[in-house]
Amino acid sequence: MKDVKEQPTVSTLMPAMKNTEPPCWPGASWIGALDLPAELGGRIMLADSAGYRKARLLVRERTRPVAFVDIDIVDGCIDGDRLEQLLSTRKPVVGPVVPAVDPDRLPSITVVICTRNRTALLKTALASVLACDYPDFDVVVVDNASDDTATVEYVESLSEPRVQVRVEPVPGLAVARNTGIRAARGKVVAFTDDDVVVDRMWLRRLGEAFATDSSIGCVTGLVVSGELRTPAQSVFEKLVQKQAQWSSKLTRESFDIARPPPGNPLFPFQVGLYGTGANLALPRAVLKKLGGFDDGLGIGSPAGGGEDIDMFLRVITAGHRLVYEPAAIIWHRPHPDMSALENEVRTYALGLSAWMTKVACDRVLAPMALRRAWWAARRLQLLTPPPGVEGVDLPPGMRRKKVAGILRGPLALAKSRRQGRRARPLATNAHHHHPFTLPAQASMSRGVRLVLGLKTTV
């Protein structure tokens, strides 16, 4: 590698998220984005990089991601020539061409941000949303069972006509999201969390997807760790990369129940394919038709999670297309300490198990899921400890907590139902049919019914 000290500094890159504290271990990575075309020769300075020895860059071309690059940091800079060399060896991103969209065709969007006792984090997330390049959007902040009025007071102090705040006293992320849906004015409702920074083009990429195809019922996007300064954050990154594609996949993909992806025996139950609740958008009409998020799932409910993966499955089995659009980028700040990571692993396992219990109790989906039980058991990896990071000792109880969460899922869902948390809280009719019960089957194609495992007639 060339001596970077002898090369002129040609540019400065900013971190994806403001670093709250300096890195606390040698394996930490500075995180940022590089937009091509750019002059890559000489030194490239990295702002706020003190203490970091390496960097991870999300490289974008015309605002669309094309590569992740890991590179060494020397004296707060990276070597532009070395970066150019690394980029020259990358595999090209192959995927469908996204057509240009006339701004007049873009749908209005309401962004829902649910938060609880985290006003400081909310300020950063909300500021990034308001900086989005999009012609018609508004924001609903849902203050979910907070201990004080700090969030409400902050939002009201903004005097921003595009932002409104709603108080939801019943704890639960799904409950809060449904409150946001009720207050939404846009044709599309986009959801994100309070511990993120959204890319400036986030809403535009979501809106373009809906504008180009009316059959799309949900769009998700790339969620990248925006801070990797602690061992726990790096372990979280490894866990997510192993179990989900939405943190690293750079190719646009579409999912349709009538056209299962080849070589995927778990479809449509392999939820890591689709996305995550920190970055998803649905037409408001679809949300109302599906009855909203299941109040019995999600953080804050006894189930602790699962409301997003439940929605993905419901969207697909209702006959809508789900599109993963990696150009709709969000940067997420993982929990910095290992104890929080342990709890997150347990909560994820609990929510996953509660959702699986819901599927097992569904008279239409259960037979379909049963035929995939062997592959699902392998996916759970009950006997395999989560992957670590070099130089990091994983908590000895992490696997135990994961298994405990899985075993408690059925009881957690039962507790949610006893509390009156409904599966379709936004349903307009008291008596509703499953999308694939008899009244709806007559209009389905034979291919769709075969995929779902329903009886067909010749």
Share of the chain above pLDDT 70, in %: 86
Confidence of residue 178 (pLDDT cuts 50, 70, 90): very high
- The residue type of 155 is V
Residue 302 pLDDT > 60, yes or no?
A: yes
Q: What's CA 38's distance to the chain center, in Å?
A: 29
Region 32-36: mean pLDDT is: 93
pLDDT for position 401: 86
**Measured between alpha carbons, how far is 399 from 395 in angstroms, rounded to an integer?**
9
**Measured between alpha carbons, how far is 410 from 405 in angstroms, rounded to an integer?**
10
Per-residue pLDDT of 185-200, as tens digits, reads 999 999 999 999 999 9
- The residue type of 383 is L
Share of the chain above pLDDT 90, in %: 69
Sequence-distant (≥ 6) Cβ neighbours of residue 280 within 8 angstroms: 190, 191, 218, 219, 220, 221, 308, 311
Residue 75 pLDDT > 60, yes or no?
A: yes
Residue 434 pLDDT > 80, yes or no?
A: no
Q: Which residues of 167-189 are buried (b: 16+ CB within 10 A; e: fewer)?
A: ebebebbbbbbbbbbebbebbbb
**Measured between alpha carbons, how far is 139 from 127 in angstroms, rounded to an integer?**
11
Q: What are phi and psi of 328, to 5 degrees?
A: -90, 90
Confidence of residue 99 (pLDDT cuts 50, 70, 90): confident
pTM of the model: 0.90
Which position has the token pair 């590569």?
67
Domains, the chain, ordered by start: 4-88 (no CATH), 103-345 (3.90.550.10)
Q: How would you classify the pairing of strands 280-283 and 188-192?
A: antiparallel
Which position has the token pair 């102090």?
157
Helix, strand, coil percentages for the chain (3-state, nearest 5): 35, 25, 40
pLDDT for position 385: 53
User: Residue 84 corresponds to which tokens in the numbers above?
Assistant: 């150019």
Q: Which residues pair with 69 in a beta bridge?
A: 57
Region 114-132: mean pLDDT is: 97
pLDDT for position 380: 59
pLDDT for position 376: 65
Per-residue pLDDT of 198-252, as tens digits, reads 999 999 999 999 999 999 999 999 999 999 999 999 999 988 887 788 899 999 9
